[in-house]
Copies of this chain bind each other. A is one copy, B any other.
Amino acid sequence: MYTGKDRLQAALMTDLYQLTMMAGYYMHHREAEATFELFIRSLPTSRAYLVAAGLEQAVEFLLHLEFDDESVAFLRRLPALAHLPGDFFDYLSRFRFQGDLWGVPEGTLVFANEPILQVRAPLPQAQLVETFLLSLIHYQTLVATKASRVVRAAAGRGVVDFGTRRAHGPEAGVLAARAGFIGGCIGTSNVSAARQFGIPAYGTAAHSWTLAFDSEREAFEKYHAVFPDSTVVVVDTFDTMEGVRNAVRLGRKLKGVRLDSGNLLDLSREARRILDQAGLGATKILASGDLDEYKVQRLVEGGAPIDLFGVGTEMVTSRDEPALAAVYKLVEWQGPKGVVRRAKFSEGKETYPGRKQVWRSAGPGGVYAGDEIALAEEGPKPGATPLLIPILVGGTLCAPLSSPTEARDRACLEVERLPARYRRLVAADAYPVVWSNDLRRRFEEMRKKSLLPPQGELCDTNA
């Protein structure tokens, strides 16, 4: 994680070209204020909405961004930069992020092309932070979104993140636990995430515990002796129903049994029957093992008496869609004669020009009706709520950030407000997001101009 010594070296967790461009801007005294927007270009068909996450880590990064002496010394020796004059490296040593950051609060639902973050800072500052911000926001948004799908499929039964071991490295496990919680999980098996973010920690016992004793019965008894009030045992090491019967022998304080393989629908029914017959109506049934939103949905729809789902690999790697089209695009900069807006017209990779705001409208009962992406300068849209709020001004925090719990509550509420047809797990309708008339007009004018030679005028000087 980017704390401690690594916090100081987080500045190096970037692509080399961010540093070469920074040097270029510095050498040409090009410190003009620029606005970059971070957004997801398009949603995969299996994602009807996104749950924005990662803002807290993005802010921490910007607040503490600096090059420590060791990092600067390394850059001085780097072949790509070694020829640059010493004052560039002095500039790096003094470097701090002094720009503005706008963002949508964590847990907010967002859609394609809606800025999740907006960075307004002198060009070199805004450029340097691209890689790290993308990395943080992309991954947590990816997992919070997947988690939200699994949690909805669970229809009120709890979902716990069990994915740390298959996340893409230890840090990803911690970030996934956080993002999964924002997406609606009730907790995580990840102890570090529990400590750092105050997320409830869940745990049972593994097959290895059972295998480390002479019999399953002995293993269960030994576990119960140490954890009399929180015994949850995994019952499928040998024969699942025999495992349930061995668990039942522990008596009324047995908190739960975990099923980790086989036909979970049939096994959970049979396990429930055995537990109930033994008078253990309060004992919970947990299920785990390669679960995703579709499997959870089938179990719930089939009436499986499962109280809690442990979901791992599928959620923390967002296995069916392990990456989103997250980009960070220059949309305007302050030229000597005024604001220069920037657009791109490549099919499927359009970038609309200028600093924006997203306005969300709601109908009766607070039900979301649609979004409008407009130029920030267009000002308020009657009856609609702006999604982007100021977070940092001049490099300083200007608004309290949501806690993970607040973000989780927000995501939960927002999903409720989304009409059912826009949040179906499969074949959802596209939620209506439109560009404002002003923005469309401006984009079309710029596109027309771009078709005339010579090139280079994909800007819209607003003198």
Q: Which A residues have a C-beta under 8 Å from some C-beta of B? A: 1-7, 9-10, 12-21, 23-25, 27-28, 30, 32, 34, 36, 71, 74-75, 78-80, 83-84, 123, 127, 130-132, 134-136, 138-139, 142, 162, 164-176, 189-192, 194-195, 201-209, 211-212, 214-218, 222-223, 225-227, 229-230, 237-239, 242, 261, 313, 317-319, 322-323, 326, 328-330, 333, 335, 342, 344, 346, 349, 450, 454-456, 458-459
Closest B residue to A239 by beta carbon equals B455
Tell me which residues across on chain B come within 8 A of A162, comparing CB atoms. Answer: 15
Q: Is the CB of B71 within 8 A of A195?
A: yes
Q: Given A17-B205, A208-B36, A238-B455, check contact A323 B74 (CB 8 Å).
A: no
Residues of B near A142 (CB, < 8 A) are 168
- Min CB distance, A202 to chain B, in Å? 6
Contacting pair B189 A20 (CB below 8 A)? no
Question: A170–B135 contact, CB under 8 A?
Answer: yes
How far, in angstroms, from A204 to B174 measured CA to CA in the complex?
Answer: 32
Would you give 5 A-B contacts (Cβ < 8 Å), ordered by A? A25-B212, A135-B172, A165-B328, A167-B168, A238-B450
Question: Is A211 a contact of B167 with CB atoms below 8 Å?
Answer: no
With most chain B CB atoms within 10 A of its CB, the pick from A80, A84, A162, A323 is A323
Q: Is the CB of B455 within 8 A of A330?
A: no
A127 touches B208 (CB 8 A): yes
Within 8 Å CB of A317, what residues of B?
A: 168, 317, 322-323
* 6 further A-B pairs in the complex, CB-CB below 8 A; given A15-B189, A23-B226, A238-B450: A5-B5, A13-B173, A30-B212, A130-B208, A211-B342, A239-B455
In contact, B168 and A169 (Cβ under 8 angstroms):
yes
B13 touches A164 (CB 8 A): yes
Q: How far is the CA of A226 from the CA of B83 in the complex (A)?
A: 9
If the complex has contacts A13-B174, A78-B194, A214-B456, are A166 and B203 also in contact, measured as CB distance less than 8 A? no
| A335 to B190 alpha-carbon distance, docked (Å) | 31
Residues from chain B with Cβ under 8 Å of A134 in the complex: 165-166
Residues B4 and A6 in contact, CB atoms below 8 Å apart: yes
A170 touches B13 (CB 8 A): yes
Choice from B25, B127, B164, B349 contacting A135 with Cβ under 8 Å: B164
Within 8 Å by CB of A172, from B3, B15, B172, B454, lies: B172
Smallest CB-CB A-B distances: 4 pairs: A16-B203, A4-B4, A215-B456, A4-B5
Cβ-defined contact, B212 with A123, below 8 A = yes
Please tell me if the beta carbons of B169 and A169 are within 8 angstroms of each other in the complex.
Answer: yes
In contact, A1 and B6 (Cβ under 8 angstroms)? yes
* Nearest B residue (CB) for A84: B226
CB distance from A409 to the nearest CB of B (A): 22
Residues of B within 8 A of A127 (CB): 206, 208
For the complex, give the distance between the alpha carbons of A349 and B260 in Å.
Answer: 12
